[in-house]
């Protein structure tokens, strides 16, 4: 195994190589800052100057993907998560993108709706919405005194407005100066809830068959692409159910079909949504990223507890094309420089979540 050394090392050479994402975007290196919920937005869920400085400090990354950013008010499930649906939020995000661009960085916004992973306390007393009224057990994140419950199943006629909210969020992102958008289709949130039989028990055109389970995700992709262009659209996926979700034998078939349809659309990338990508799913015949690579011909972003050394080995072996780091970027605003110098990243600990350092 090749070892990391000075700036000319195998790791640095591999991870710091520029990458042509498509005809519109070339990344200055293969390192991506993963989306991470920080719960630090201001009043009315408007991004702040502190958020602008936080992202700007990490602009050495080839691509920054923002924290999950809700596309309409009923998409909220955590405190102080930013939105992209109001003019004030667009203005707040513009100061973020300007700060990142001033340091020659690129940034996508992650378009998010949590679906059933919410509570009436965030929704003015209304029930969370979901594909089906399937209960979610456990205590609400960041408010352990509350418990999740049973969401309200969406009426078929309500779905087009949600698709439009994603599309308008993408248009707003362009107005805010983002270089593109990532559709959050992972981690047990709304789009992922449509993709898994555990949470999708529908009998209309959005449930039942494998093809119907992919319909909502593809409608969102198509609506977003129509607004901003396919080269500026990525998607994050969790083909292996593990977070706010239970697995089902049909999961693999649904994601195989979805990935084949995404291939036809030639979007910018697909991105693994998982905390630890060493996890093996028997119904995927391996890890989540290996499944994405087998069934998607375009760019794949690996993610999930990788070290720089391991990420470089995987990229060299064509396991994926880009690597997204999450917690290492919280602990190391200068992560890219450390990799360039062959320095070990500083360790992460949970106390770092208390501030935007």
Per DSSP, the residues of 10-49 read HHHHHHTS-EE-SSS-EESSSEEEPP-------GGG---H
At residue 258, the pLDDT reads: 98
Residue 102, number of CB atoms within 10 A of its CB? 11
**Beta-sheet pairing, 129-130 with 26-27:** unpaired
Is residue 5 scored above 60 in pLDDT?
A: no
pLDDT at 73: 98
Q: Parallel, antiparallel, or unpaired: how do β-strands 129-130 and 107-112 relate?
A: unpaired
CA neighbours within 13 Å on the CB side: how many for 186? 26
Share of the chain above pLDDT 90, in %: 96
Q: What is the per-residue pLDDT for 69?
A: 98
Strand bridging mode 233-237 / 269-272: parallel
Angle 80-81-82 (CA atoms, 0-180°, nearest 5)? 110
CA distance 169 to 157: 20
CB 309 within 8 A of CB 288: no
Query: What is the percentage of the chain residues whose pLDDT exceeds 70?
Result: 97
Class of domain 10-346: alpha beta
pLDDT tens digit sequence for 20-58: 999 999 999 999 999 999 999 999 999 999 999 999 999
Average predicted confidence (pLDDT) for the chain:
96
Q: Please write the tens of the pLDDT for every residue from 239-277.
A: 999 899 999 989 999 999 999 999 999 999 999 999 999
Whether 122 sits among the annotated catalytic residues: the reply is no
Question: Which has the closest alpha carbon to 84: 216, 76, 128?
Answer: 76
Where does the pLDDT of residue 150 fall: very low under 50, low under 70, confident under 90, or very high at 90 and above? very high
Over residues 170-186, mean pLDDT: 98
CB neighbour class for 5 (10 Å; exposed up to 12, middle 13-18, buried from 19): exposed
In this prediction, residue 70 has a pLDDT band, given cuts at 50, 70 and 90, of very high
- 253 neighbors 210 (Cβ within 8 angstroms): yes
Residue 76: band (very low, low, confident or very high) from pLDDT cuts 50, 70, 90: very high
Which residue, among 266, 259, 264, 267, has the nearest Cα to 290 in the 3D structure?
A: 259
What are 85-138's pLDDT values in tens digits?
999 999 999 999 999 999 999 999 999 999 999 999 999 999 999 999 999 999
What is the arithmetic mean of pLDDT over 206-224? 98
> What stretch of H or E contains 259?
helix 251-265
Q: For position 332, what pLDDT does the model report? A: 97
Catalytic residue among 19, 55, 189, 244: 189
Domain borders along the chain are: 10-346
Q: How confident is the model at residue 141 (pLDDT cuts 50, 70, 90)?
A: confident
Enumerate the β-bridge partners of residue 325.
33
In angstroms, the CA 268 to CA 111 distance is 15
Classify each residue of 143-162 as buried b or exposed e, where b means 16 or more C-beta atoms within 10 Å of its C-beta: eeeeebeebebbeeeebeeb
């Amino acid at each position: 195994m090749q070892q990391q050394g000075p700036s000319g090392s195998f790791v640095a050479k591999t991870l710091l190589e520029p990458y042509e994402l498509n005809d519109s975007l070339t990344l200055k290196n293969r390192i991506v800052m993963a989306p991470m919920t920080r719960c630090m937005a201001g009043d009315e869920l408007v991004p702040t100057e502190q958020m602008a400085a936080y992202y700007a400090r990490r602009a050495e990354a080839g691509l920054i993907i923002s924290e999950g950013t809700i596309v309409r008010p009923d998409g909220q499930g955590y405190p102080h998560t930013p939105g992209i649906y109001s003019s004030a939020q667009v203005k707040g995000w513009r100061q973020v993108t300007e700060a990142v661009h001033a340091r020659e960085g690129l940034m996508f916004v992650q378009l998010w709706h949590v679906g059933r992973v919410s509570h009436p306390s965030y929704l003015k007393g209304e029930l969370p919405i979901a594909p089906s009224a399937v209960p979610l057990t456990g205590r609400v994140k960041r408010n352990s005194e509350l418990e999740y419950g049973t969401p309200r199943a969406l009426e078929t006629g309500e779905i087009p407005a949600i698709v439009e909210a994603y599309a308008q969020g993408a248009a707003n992102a362009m107005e805010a100066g983002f270089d593109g958008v990532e559709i959050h289709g992972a981690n047990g949130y709304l789009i992922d809830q449509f993709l898994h039989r555990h949470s999708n028990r529908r009998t209309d055109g959005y449930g039942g068959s494998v093809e119907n389970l992919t319909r909502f995700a593809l409608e969102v992709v198509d609506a977003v692409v129509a607004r901003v262009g396919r080269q500026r659209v990525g998607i994050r996926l969790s083909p292996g159910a593990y977070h706010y979700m239970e697995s089902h034998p049909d999961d693999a078939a649904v994601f195989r079909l979805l990935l084949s349809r995404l291939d036809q659309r030639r979007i910018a990338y697909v991105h693994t949504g998982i905390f630890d990508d060493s996890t093996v799913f028997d119904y995927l015949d391996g890890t989540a990223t290996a499944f994405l690579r087998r069934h998607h011909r375009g760019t794949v972003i690996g993610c999930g507890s990788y070290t720089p050394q391991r990420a470089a080995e995987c990229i060299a072996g064509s396991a994926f094309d880009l690597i997204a780091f999450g917690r290492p970027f919280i602990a190391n605003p200068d992560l890219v420089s450390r990799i360039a110098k062959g320095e070990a990243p500083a360790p992460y600990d949970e106390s770092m979540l208390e501030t935007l350092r």
